[in-house]
Structure 1
Amino acid sequence: MVSMDSTASTGSAGITPSAPETPPRLINWDLAATTAAKLTPAGPKMPQAQIRAAVANLRELSEVSVDHVHRITGLEAARDLRDSQVLIVDRAEWSKANARSFEALLQPALTELARKKPEQVKSAATGLSSSLTGTQMGAILSFLSSKVLGQYDPFCSLLPGGPAGGRLMLVAPNIIAVEQELNVEPADFRLWVCLHEQTHRVQFAAAPWLRDHMMEQIGKLSSGLVAKADTFGERLQQAAKALMSGKDKNDDGAGTGGGKVAVGATGTIMDLFQDPEEKAIFSHVTAIMSLLEGHANVVMDEVDASVVPTVKTIRQRFNARAKTRGALENWIRKIMGLDAKARQYTDGAKFVRAVVKQVGMEGFNQVWLRAENLPTEEEIHNADLWISRMDLSRP
């Protein structure tokens, strides 16, 4: 959490002005972290000696993977990652870390909005209390904490004492659970996962401006939601209604329940962003996430049996795993937009492969130089547009 202290001074009239009021907390993140820790199962049961060995192996493989990321991507930033750190965590630790980072990420936007429009922030705090509580967020974090294999958090640098370059978290219980479920070689699977996650770490090292750029975009979205607290509940209900009616973004707006919702609704939290400006920002963020996830997936897929001996088996079993999800998990994944995130992996990977095929890895790496070089959502689906805009040619 970021706190902003101010030292009061005495004016000419001898009156000490009061310090700026701290913005109200829209979500009780302490409660969210506590709730997540209580709801989340511990993970696979293993003897302590095996757990320690697995943690040590993950730490070793996370370091080994960096050389492979450097070789595949050609990004020199991979040679020096001292500003960031790697942590091997359990599910509760992951939930707590994300609760703290979420609050720190939202705090600057709330502080600025509270300065400009204090009444709207107070109204938002009241309006959201029945819709988005710490307990509800804790339930969401609990669900995610049992699914996430790893995560690079570039925003933890906002926390007191946080690393300047971000933090990579590998969720050991989940990695072990999946490797057991798939019945694959543990060391191979762990290295495969580390390749993806370390690629994210290298991306932000190669583009040090990217964190602030994403913070700015996310800040605009969060400020927009808070400033329109009077319609937030209605939009949240609309998103839930679209989901319950089985709507798809290609539907004409009529749900099976007989109700009408906004044309183009997806039935996910993305439906909270409805204004043209919000949609434009969200589209930009979606394109960035597609780029980051797709690029990391390409790195994973570039390794062969000389690096990960059982990589073909791992890919086949991991991709087939999604087909075995139950109805409840599929429902939760849909409303949280995780299915859309899965499409980002696919769409982004297609973009990266298309660009590299035409202009080589060096040409693709122009994307990390400045914000203006980031692809739009349209360009993610048509790499030729990005190549033309960048004025790149085949090497």
Structure 2
Amino acid sequence: MNFFRSVRAVADASATGTGTIDWDAVGEAAKASVDPGSIDLSADERDGYATDVRDARDRLRRVAAVDFEVPEVVEVQNRHHWIDANVETFRRVMVPFEEHGPVFLPGLTRAVNTGTFALVLSFLGNNVLGQYDPLLLADNDDHGLYFVHPNIRRVADSLDVDYPRFRRWIAFHEVSHAAEFGAAPWLSTHLESRMERGIDALVEGDLDREAFRELDTAMTAVEGYAELLMDRAFDDEYEDLRRKLDERRRGGGPVAKLARRFLGLGLKRRQYERGARFFEAVADERGLAAASRVWDHPENLPTDAELDAPERWIARVSP
């Protein structure tokens, strides 16, 4: 790690180039403040990742009765690889804000924005375990499945849990997301349209509450259904893994807690829990096949009210 190089990259952003964010400096500063970690994997570890992904795909196909493929891009990454892969995602999301026009004190604004996103990416790069990336707002339909090996290894050790079992659990979770997007080819476009509406409104100085409400509802369904699949498909008991990981997320120092709040990670946890309760109720009442009907078409997504009253969704979609 080189904090001096990180600070220098942010400082240089104010003096070079145009625009409100220097994305090259974002990546450089984020990586300078994060140890990349090792991905010097043994043959058994490489085979383990491949086996975990393949087994997760096969079991999820059988359990959920949905046909999907894992992405062609499946990578075991270090932390710097993950940062590089996600700088472009952040850049795409921020395009409308950067195109909005002139700003007051552009050099200072550029440095502050660059430093903020470098901090965000460095925090996430040091904590993300796995990621299914549907590449929202991209110009192509490629998806990616990433495993940040140094983080998986470190967290397994810190939680005092069996590393291969923990790695397999993470693989099942990420492949569960691949199953959702594979079962619902319309889902990426649905999420993109709500995101773009919300961002466009913010750029114009307005707040499209309905767009963000629909986005939150859809993401709650995405996270909750993945939890349901994990519960029904994972081939081992895992309540201890979830409990220990949740305890770890609630812990940490004040800086980590502030970062989680700033990044909305508490909202993500709420989406998991609320969505899981909804789908568990549907599956218990009508079976997993009925719950999977949520991905038949966009109209089958639960409304915000139905998330807390699954019997209404059952009456509407699967009577």
For normalisation by structure 2, the TM-score amounts to 0.84
Judge conservation of contact 2:20–2:110 (CA < 8 Å) in 1: no
1:145 paired with 2:125, answer yes
Going from structure 1 to structure 2, the CA distance change for 1:34 and 1:312 (only over 3 Å counts) comes to: same
Shift of 1:56: 4.0
Give the whole-Å Cα distance in 1 for the aligned partners of 2:149 and 2:200.
35
Identity of aligned residues (%): 27
Which residue of 217, 220, 241 corresponds with 1:287?
A: 217
- Given the superposition, is the C-alpha separation of residues 26 and 205 from structure 1 closer, same or farther in structure 2, using an over 3 Å criterion? farther
Instruction: Report matched runs for 1:237-252 at 5 Å.
Output: none
Taking the TM superposition and a 5 Å limit, the aligned residue runs for 1:129-144 are 129=109, 133-144=113-124
Aligned to 1:297: 227
Which residue of structure 1 aligns with residue 135 of structure 2? 155
Name the CA distance, whole Å, in 2 between partners of 1:105 and 1:209: 19
Among candidates 151, 159, 173, match of residue 150 of structure 2 = 173
- 1:350 CA displacement: 0.5
**Is residue 122 of structure 1 aligned with residue 122 of structure 2?**
no
Change in 2 beyond 3 A, CA 1:364/1:143? same
Q: Which is bigger in relative contact order (C-alpha 8 A, separation at least 6)?
A: 2
Q: 2:84 aligns with which of 92, 96, 100?
A: 96
In structure 1, distance between residues paired with 2:41 and 2:82: 22
1:329 aligns with 2:256: yes
Q: Give secondary structure in 1 for the equivalent of 2:231.
A: helix
**Residues 65, 198 of structure 1: 8 Å contact kept:** yes
Q: Which segments of structure 1 move beyond 4 Å, counting only runs of 4 or more?
A: 124-128
1:62 aligns with 2:56: no
Partner of 1:311: 238
- Quote the offset at 1:84 in angstroms: 3.9
Aligned to 1:37: 31
C-alpha contact 1:124 1:226 (8 A) present in aligned 2: no
Q: Which structure 2 residues correspond to residues 227-246 of structure 1 after superposition, within 5 A? A: 227-228=204-205
1:196 equivalent in alignment to 2:183: no
Change (3 A) 1:132 1:296: farther
Specify whether residues 34 and 131 from structure 1 end up closer, same or farther in structure 2 by C-alpha distance, changes over 3 A only.
Answer: closer
Partner of 1:235: none
From the superposition, tell whether residues 25 and 296 of structure 1 become closer, same or farther in structure 2 (CA, over 3 Å).
Answer: farther
Give the corresponding residue for 1:259.
Answer: none
Give the Cα–Cα distance (whole angstroms) in 1 for the partners of residues 20 and 186 of structure 2. Answer: 28
The answer as to whether partners of 1:152 and 1:168 remain within 8 angstroms in 2 is yes
- Displacement, 1:179? 0.9
Tell me the secondary structure at the aligned position of residue 184 of structure 1. coil
Whether contact under 8 Å (2:184, 2:296) holds in the other structure is: yes
SS of the counterpart of 2:76?
strand
Aligned CA distance change for structure 1 residues 94 and 49 (closer, same or farther; 3 Å): closer
The count of residues paired between Structure 1 and Structure 2 equals 301
Change (3 A) 1:63 1:224: same
Secondary structure class of the residue paired with 2:127: coil
Higher radius of gyration, 1 or 2: 1
Alpha-carbon distance in structure 1 between the residues aligned to 2:21 and 2:216: 24
- One-letter amino acid of the counterpart of residue 369, structure 1: D
In 1, Cα distance between equivalents of 2:29 and 2:76: 21
CA displacement, residues 62-85 of structure 1 (integer Å, 9 cap, x when unaligned): 1221112112222122xx44x642
CA RMSD of aligned residues (A): 2.7
Which residue of 1 is the match for residue 7 of structure 2?
Answer: none
Instruction: Quote the offset at 1:150 in angstroms.
Output: 1.0
Cα distance change, pair 131–181 in 1 and its aligned pair in 2 (3 A): same
CA distance in 2, matches of 1:344, 1:156: 19
